[in-house]
Chains A and B, each alone.
Chain A
Amino acid sequence: MRAPFALGCLALVYLSAVFAGFVAPYDPTTQHRELAFVSPTRIHFVDDTGRLHLRPFVYAMIPASTGTAVIEDRSRPYPIRFVVRGARGRVAGVADSDWHLFGTESPTPLFLFGSDDFGRDLFSRLLFGGQISLFAGLLGAALSLALGTVIGGVAGYYGGWVDEINMRIAELFLALPWLYLLFAVRMALPLDLAPTQAFLLVLILIAVVGWARPARLVRGLVLSARARDYVAAARCLGASDAYLLRRHVLPQIIGMLLTQAALLAPQYILAEVTLSFFGLGVEEPVPSWGNMLASLQRYHVVASYWWMFLPGIVMVPVFWLYHSLADALHRRAMST
């Protein structure tokens, strides 16, 4: 796969998370207590009389008398319309809007991916959850790479005792069982955190634990770049350290850094998911892919409601795109 294509697809995924307020039909925390664990709403094209509708439609749902099952009220079809007005919410964190990408006039919600144990729309939660999980991955990768580049760069460029100290610390961090470290650190912090605080915390945790591997890589690259003849020549001509790093060393390693970013981002998405899965990340009712998957810790959910796996399943294409991107970037870096 070519890098622009993978990048384009990923951009689309990220944009739909950023504009979740518009793309998602409902607020992710609105509970529909009559409609818990409802399977994905069936989208129809043919009604009971056999007539074909060009515009897809749904039926309203009536809760059955027992359990969580629902039945379709087939008396009236509700066409799915695009770009409609619905619940008011914040879009991309800047503007309030009541426009949504799609919706129906049905008295019961259109659960594209089904509903969860509180009758919340899983599709909307998935998109809003992406705001946390996807960006924790991306920003976590950026932050740990930045840290790793500075520390690894300094170690590789100056060598000597600076190198020794930095790299021994890096090895220490590599040897730590990071998952348990994250647990321990999270446990030591206040229990009740606002979602933004929790998000920042997860981000910082990821970066602090994750800087060592890129730092070792960057150190190696800088070490080899520094030893090149033209770098030595520039140095003899009186070039400053800053000039050398900017002009000669950084261009050598930028390709590898981007590849690393593409490899680290999915790892860190998974880290956020793991933390939230164990209740140490973003807390209910704010969705993240991890805390959405947490309900799978219960037997009856695993055994009865397949759509509750969807937050886990959507990670597969996202990770695949990231790995394709890393692959393409790697080839490009090798060929230059």
Chain B
Amino acid sequence: MMRLFGLLVLLVASVSASSFATQRAPASDRFVSTGDVGQRGGQLVVAQRTEPRTLNPITAVDSPSRDVIRRTTADLIHVNRDTQQLEPALAKSWTVSPDGRRFTLLLRRGVRFSDGDVFDADDVVFSFQVYLDEKVASTQRDNLMVGGKPIAVTKLDQYSVQIDVPDQYSSAERLFDSVAMLPRHLLAQPYQEGRLVEAWGLGTPAAAMAGLGPFRFAEHVPGERLVLERNANYWKEDRAGTQLPYLDRVVFVSVPSEDAQAVRFQAGEADVVTRLSATNFELLLKDQPRRNYELRDLGAGLTYEFVFFNQNDPAPALSAEAAARRRWFRQLAFRQAVGSAIDRDGIVRLTYRGRATPLWGHVPPGNKAWFNQALPRPARSLDRARQQLRAAGFSWLPDGTLIDDQRQPVAFTILTNSGNAERNQIATIIQDDLKQIGMRVGVVTLDLRAMLDRVMTTHDYDACVLGLSGGDGDPNSEMNVWLSSGATHLWRPGQKVPATPWEEEIDALMREQIRTRDGQRRKRLYDRVQLLVADNLPIISLVSPNVLVGATTGLANFRPTVLDHPALWNLEELFWRGRRAGAAQ
């Protein structure tokens, strides 16, 4: 009996090996990874802040869900997180018409979904049909609209599609990044029945799902873990011709706070940790000689932290004091004085232990392609701050309290979100800095949702410390922030007509750069936007924290990046050097 069983195993193994060989795509259609050649086996344990809410690529909005889904799905054209350049993914090549509005994509042949079904142009057409369907209300829909009109996708033959962009769009190829291709054979029916939104929840059996990513869903134990397993049909291979990925399993565990993640990682219960705070990074660094992990400081990332003032039109019911505050916040000299008084170096030293870069513009140096080096970087000066205030009609009482021209003392509050120790500390530093020019500042901590509600909806706040991650680094991902009509135009969202000449100019510049395909010209346009923001200080940029990550020793091909996801972007290439097999679970 045992012999028979052994023979069977051998037989199955040889069949699967040969079936891969027969299924191998023609050489021109293979994707060969450039990473080190590795060995199969082992698992990787990844800690997430919260559990994913869904495995549905169409409806996922929370980052834990997206982090998982991007491992189980693939896109047509991909932004390489390391080089920040475009690379072919499911589309092996593409051509662009001279006017930049028509794309012809050639798909890889021989690509199969994780359940074995063939991927072709029908799946592409179906995917875009779903994403662009208003009734489905997918999160990608907005990104796939250009100039208010949807892109059009047409099948040319089984392995080529044509995509028409309705308007000039500077980096149209980037639109396809992270737009997951969906299996028509599994989702067409739920789509027709209008049940697509409920499809692929965490309770869906693994067999009912399929994707084109390096891993596929295996199991979910609520409150405990979500397990992905190797996709045996994945379309990438290494230089030795071995099919990727190397790892057998990836386990996502939810660990609620950054502190707890650091502890888990330190104890060897998680293999990868990203978004470490500088303080925990220092702590782990000190402990490193005794432990089995390595840490990397990737330098300035794309995130920028800033403080901004409420410049919305005061509601009629607003008290006289609150209306006076709005009046100060709209004065450029007031914002300039605040900018002059803030000790950015102090923030870098105290909050980030030196692992951050002070900022005078909103694009951090980590965004190499777009950073404007020519922006002025005035040093901190309380004298200059006082001069700016005096020139704007402010004066001081004998006890040092700053008063405005109506003799109202200058006092306001700064909002930060609880659970973000760095921002709290930044707010306290600003509070102390502004005390020195006579402003009385209170620091108020709210949970993130309540804070954003005040900023975006009720406009019931004075000032706020916030950070933005800058998307993929391209200015197009921040259109919503800089257009005066944008919903996240933080200081004064959703304006019908630009309130100031400089906001009008930024609107024009942003609209022009999105239609320009000449990279250098776009850079010049966006440099001007950065200068206008730095001059008019709707947001006062403070610092850009370094991206700090760690991984268990022996994890090969671990090449963390500043773009999302810093550690898992090349998950298919990761493997364990030596005999290690990842953290115990």
Binding site for B on A (CB under 8 A): 29, 31, 33-34, 36, 66-68, 117-119, 191-193, 279, 283-285, 298-301, 303-304
Question: Is B488's CB within 8 Å of the partner chain A?
Answer: no
Give bound CA distance, A119 to B349, whole Å.
11
Residue contact B354 to A66, C-beta cutoff 8 Å = yes
Contact B349 A303 (CB under 8 A): no
Which residues on A sit within 8 Å (CB–CB) of B350?
33, 36, 117-119
Q: How far is B350's CA from A67's CA once the two chains are assembled, in angstroms?
A: 9
A284's contact among B346, B354, B421, B443, by CB below 8 Å, is which? B443
Given contacts A285-B428, A303-B283, contact A279 B413 (CB under 8 A): no
Q: Are the CB atoms of A283 and B442 closer together than 8 Å?
A: yes
Tell whether, in the assembled complex, residue A299 and residue B263 are in contact, meaning their CB atoms are under 8 Å apart.
yes
A236 CB, min distance to chain B CBs, angstroms: 62
28 A-B pairs, CB-CB below 8 angstroms?
A: A29-B432, A33-B343, A33-B349, A33-B350, A33-B429, A66-B354, A67-B282, A68-B353, A118-B425, A118-B429, A191-B413, A191-B444, A192-B413, A192-B444, A193-B442, A283-B442, A283-B443, A283-B444, A284-B428, A284-B431, A285-B428, A298-B421, A299-B260, A299-B262, A299-B280, A299-B283, A300-B259, A300-B279
CA distance A117 to B445 in the complex (A): 18
The interface residues of chain B lying within 8 Å CB-to-CB of A299 are 259-260, 262-263, 280, 283
Q: Would A304 and B431 be within 8 Å (CB), given that A34-B349, A284-B443, A299-B263 are in contact?
A: no
- The interface residues of chain A lying within 8 Å CB-to-CB of B346 are 33
A-side interface mostly: loop
CB-based A-B contact count at 8 angstroms? 59
| Closest beta carbon of chain A to B410's beta carbon, Å | 14
**Closest A residue, CB atoms, query B431:** A285
In the complex the two chains form, is B432's CB within 8 Å of A279's CB?
no
Is B446 interfacial (CB 8 A cutoff)? yes
A191 and B349 alpha carbons, distance in the complex (Å): 29
> Across the interface, do A117 and B413 meet the contact criterion of CB distance under 8 Å?
no
For A193, give the chain B residue with the smallest CB separation: B442
A193: chain B residues at CB < 8 Å are 442
A283 to B431, CA, bound (A): 12
Total count of chain B residues near the partner, CB < 8 A: 28
- Report the minimum CB–CB distance from A194 to chain B (whole Å): 8
Q: Smallest distance from the beta carbon of A128 to chain B beta carbons, Å?
A: 16
A31 and B259 form a contact (CB under 8 A): no
**Cβ-defined contact, A279 with B431, below 8 A:** no
Say yes or no for B418: interface residue by CB 8 A criterion.
yes
B349 touches A298 (CB 8 A): no
Q: Which of A36, A191, A283 has the most CB of B within 10 A?
A: A191
- A192, A283, A284, A304: the one within 8 Å of B283 (CB): A304
Whether B262 lies near A67 (C-beta < 8 A) is no
With a cutoff of 8 Å between Cβ atoms, the chain B residues found around residue A29 in the complex are 432
- Bound Cα distance A191, B454 (Å): 13
Contact check, B432 vs A117: say whether CB atoms are below 8 A apart.
no
**Closest residue of A by beta carbon distance from B282:** A67
How long is the Cα–Cα vector from A17 to B296 in the complex, in angstroms?
46
Inter-chain CA distance A256–B343, complex, in Å, is: 56
Chain B residues within an 8 Å CB radius of A66 = 354
Closest to A303 in B: B283
Bound-state Cα–Cα, A191 to B444, Å = 6
Q: Are B432 and A298 in contact (CB under 8 A)?
A: no
Partner of B432, one of A192, A283, A285: A285
Question: Shortest CB–CB separation between residue B301 and chain A, in angstroms?
Answer: 20
- Give the chain A neighbours of B283 by CB distance below 8 A: 299-300, 303-304
